[in-house]
Amino acid sequence: MVQAGWQAVRQDGRVRDGLIDVAYQEPRLRQLFPWTGMGELHFSRCTEYRWTWDIPYIQPAKGGGYWVSGPLRNEAVGPAATAEEAVAMVVARLPSGTGPAYVGTPEQLAAHEASLAQTDQEPGVE
């Protein structure tokens, strides 16, 4: 599903190909589910809509370069002159423990993470 997501964002034409190429080359982002909106490249920790909003996203900047925002719309990270710099800014702000995208919705992901946390807290469980 994640690979299909990367193919879809490449084909929809809303994000600069160079940015998609650089983001896809980064293993920590390649394992996430990508999606686009308003020319922005977003990354989700789950594969189904409504995707997670806990990872910064990259948008084109006026006059060239990029702007990294988020994870929420009212949060700004800052400008990036190149796609490589923008991707590095996102990677540096990944939530701890970010792994491959969970197959399901954000609610299913939250329930899965809660069950893992509960198992970790139970005495005698390894």
In tens, the pLDDT along 64-114 reads: 999 999 999 999 999 999 999 999 999 999 999 899 999 999 999 999 999
Distance CA 2, CA 32 (A): 7
List the beta bridge partners of residue 66: 60, 80
Q: Which strand (E) or helix (H) includes residue 24? A: helix 17-25
Distance CA 46, CA 51 (A): 6
**What is the model's pTM?**
0.90
Q: Are 48 and 4 in contact (CB under 8 A)?
A: no
